[in-house]
Structure 1
């Protein structure tokens, strides 16, 4: 069964995903298991935290030790800050820019789903026009953090796209440079010469080029690149012409491709080796100029558990998505508008409720039935069975899913996996569980895959 994997079965690691994408050596350290745990703890203590816990979806952020080892799917919001603090003043990064700016240069939603063996990333264009959470007006999404801090950015993205955000990771330019330096540059397939004088970017040849830190940052940031005209000479400034259509979507694609290339480079450099991890950690963390920030909910235990769940995850299997948008002008600003109907299929995986986050109490409603088999099927599918017992009667003909108004989404998720489709019952309160499953005589099975609807 695709969803039948239990802890202790084949493990994969996605730890190097976030260490390279966002400077999180603590995730990569989880790859080293027990050997790397001491280093994980010491590195976590050095990374600054931002208090955004109340803005995060608390599913997947529990510090309850009983929840350790669960296979809950998690959404991480990875944010690159357009801030050059701590960087050499002679660096081309400082060209035409304010060192104190707080705009978000990139916003990426990463979904980690151990139960489905899937890792996916979704780029959110910086010019996406969104309602700013709690403000009553709209602006480009890259302004949200500067308006109200990380919490406002989290709430803005979560509310507008309708996706839960469980953890927050922030990195500035200095952190990006340290990542690239730590892996000795990143080889990238350059299809054609590319240039952007405003960022100090100039690559005159095509092919696989190992980008140094400054060139790599300029490459992923450029929005108005040039290339050499057919038959032109790269040494002749007059032969450079516009490359592409100069929008955020092209840049997002370059960023995603660069992230995957960086992950591959990190694996090649042996980032799964604890000694290599320590070297990378020392490269990334700078007490005088911290460049990485984590949310105040993530725990060492969660990092290690996730590392155990995804041991040796193939980098090439990371899924990449982009939002469907259209160009528009609002209040004199060039912005991007979300095509909401088309976006739903893109957002479906990122919205999906983690099955491990659905806590089920099973109640037997038949005289001859037993709930032991039902419990086993639910757990194989990924649900969390927290209790079982008898219903208040034993002549239940049709299986029922009971739920409170607050747990409606969880009840819908459970119902979609049950065959045949159960009845639904709204109740005022359920103690100790999210939903109650009253097993009737019509109960068939827990399906491997959900139906399109709960009924």
Structure 2
């Protein structure tokens, strides 16, 4: 689940730190999935999508570990699938959990199954193509971690503190936390925490030793589990920063612990290079973990072939997925013009930059009675104007003009302006 530590190390450790651990990273095993990855030509500064996969392989784990509780050792499923978008130009990192029960066509097979079965059916390449084809998003890189790698990461940062809202228990994965509050999870407890799907909680005033005092917590669906996994990933990265991962020597120690052992616990695709990770570190040298954005896929419960599954709500999902499809917005230069006398323009510049656009100037319009917000553009930048319009709420007018100096598009803020959305609409109007 925290395979992202290697990828996000570029964002929290910096180029200098990654340069120190080049030799360790170069030893990470590679999997031949290059033909399954996106063929788009991407520079190191352009937005790229990483597919982070946690597999339920217990290779190298003590047979007495609670990991083996109620687990079929002959079945290899993906315990978590997270799509991470890293956009150096816009200084943005966003992640989208793909529920393991999502029902979708398996690439190249002609039939459908839950997404967590795709890797076991045809290997990592099949999983990559299944996710990419169904969601319509390019996948540029692949990172995989097994249980042993997860445990090593948690061990390397001396446990991960999480704020537990209420007692939580799941005997099927060996999880038992009897007190609410901040608790530092050791490796086994951490793995149980992110894997639990049927947690129980203690009734108010209940006795932890009495089984009947433990009742169902939540609705027991993948979305709750995804939220725990994302929370834990962020908590792990914060812990790594607290433990000094920005220090090259500390990063080296963490890398050594992660990569130690007879069997590989982390795998990378065969296209990513150590140099690319170092370049990402340079681009994200001031990035803060709290800046990581979290997205959700809209899904509904269903029963297919006797299986409890989740179905994508396709129309509602498009704005979310569009964010992972689009190119970098930092190349779109926007001039903001105030078209009202009420100061509606206040905060627009920051909102645009948070969304990923580059604001080159903020000035007054030639009038202050603009009712509806307008996006102006020349013929060469119509696509950029439509992209901007899809982020502005409510939808603005699109107005072609003969000339714009020093910017690609202009946003004339009118009295109706409400916000710049974090994700685009399906259309500009």
Matched, 1:37 2:6: no
Q: Secondary structure at the match of 2:204?
A: coil
C-alpha change, 1:174 and 1:122, in structure 2 (3 Å) is same
C-alpha change, 1:29 and 1:127, in structure 2 (3 Å) is closer
Q: Partner residue of 1:347?
A: 321
Q: 50, 57, 62: which one pairs with 1:76?
A: 50
Aligned counterparts of 1:207 and 1:454: Cα–Cα separation in 2: 45
C-alpha change, 1:263 and 1:31, in structure 2 (3 Å) is closer
CA contact (8 A) 1:228 1:239 kept: yes
Aligned counterparts of 1:57 and 1:217: Cα–Cα separation in 2: 31
Q: Secondary structure at the match of 2:162?
A: strand
Q: Secondary structure at the match of 2:231?
A: helix
Q: Secondary structure at the match of 1:54?
A: coil
Cα distance, 1:354 vs structure 2: 3.1
Q: Secondary structure at the match of 1:284?
A: helix
What does 1:330-409 correspond to in 2, within 5 Å?
Answer: 330-354=304-328
Matched, 1:310 2:292: no
Cα distance, 1:25 vs structure 2: 7.5
Instruction: State TM-score, norm by structure 1.
Output: 0.74
Q: Deviations over 1:223-282 (max 9, x none)?
A: 000111122111212211111111111111111111111111100000010110111011
Cα distance, 1:416 vs structure 2: 4.9
CA contact (8 A) 1:145 1:151 kept: yes
Aligned counterparts of 1:414 and 1:84: Cα–Cα separation in 2: 50
Aligned counterparts of 1:59 and 1:138: Cα–Cα separation in 2: 27
Matched, 1:447 2:390: no
Unaligned runs of 5+ in 1: 1-17, 62-66, 359-379, 383-397, 402-409, 423-440
Matched, 1:55 2:59: no
Matched, 1:244 2:225: no
Matched, 1:280 2:254: yes
Q: Partner residue of 1:24?
A: 6
Q: Partner residue of 2:363?
A: none
Aligned counterparts of 1:117 and 1:356: Cα–Cα separation in 2: 9
Cα distance, 1:293 vs structure 2: 0.5
Cα distance, 1:29 vs structure 2: 9.6
Q: 199, 202, 221: which one pairs with 1:225?
A: 199
Aligned counterparts of 1:194 and 1:334: Cα–Cα separation in 2: 24
Q: Secondary structure at the match of 2:144?
A: strand
Q: Partner residue of 1:194?
A: 168
Unaligned runs of 5+ in 2: 333-356, 360-376, 390-397, 412-419
Q: 270, 280, 284: which one pairs with 2:244?
A: 270
C-alpha change, 1:25 and 1:76, in structure 2 (3 Å) is closer
Cα distance, 1:316 vs structure 2: 1.4
Q: Secondary structure at the match of 2:190?
A: helix
Q: Partner residue of 1:390?
A: none
Q: Deviations over 1:110-135 (max 9, x none)?
A: 11112222211111000000011111
Cα distance, 1:101 vs structure 2: 2.6
C-alpha change, 1:289 and 1:50, in structure 2 (3 Å) is same
Q: Secondary structure at the match of 1:187?
A: strand
Q: Deviations over 1:310-363 (max 9, x none)?
A: 1131211211111111110000111000111111122221121236899xxxxx
Aligned counterparts of 1:194 and 1:417: Cα–Cα separation in 2: 44
C-alpha change, 1:303 and 1:284, in structure 2 (3 Å) is same
C-alpha change, 1:23 and 1:172, in structure 2 (3 Å) is farther
Q: Partner residue of 2:146?
A: 172
Aligned counterparts of 2:138 and 2:291: Cα–Cα separation in 1: 23
The count of residues paired between Structure 1 and Structure 2 equals: 367
CA RMSD of aligned residues (A): 2.9
CA contact (8 A) 1:21 1:259 kept: no
Q: Secondary structure at the match of 2:13?
A: helix
Aligned counterparts of 1:48 and 1:357: Cα–Cα separation in 2: 35
Aligned counterparts of 1:357 and 1:48: Cα–Cα separation in 2: 35
Q: Partner residue of 2:102?
A: 128
Q: Partner residue of 2:82?
A: 108
Q: Deviations over 1:381-431 (max 9, x none)?
A: 59xxxxxxxxxxxxxxx9655xxxxxxxx9945875799659xxxxxxxxx
Aligned counterparts of 2:220 and 2:386: Cα–Cα separation in 1: 46
C-alpha change, 1:203 and 1:28, in structure 2 (3 Å) is same
Aligned counterparts of 1:24 and 1:50: Cα–Cα separation in 2: 16
Q: Secondary structure at the match of 1:139?
A: strand
Cα distance, 1:454 vs structure 2: 7.9
Q: Secondary structure at the match of 1:323?
A: coil
Aligned counterparts of 2:56 and 2:387: Cα–Cα separation in 1: 43
Q: Partner residue of 2:344?
A: none
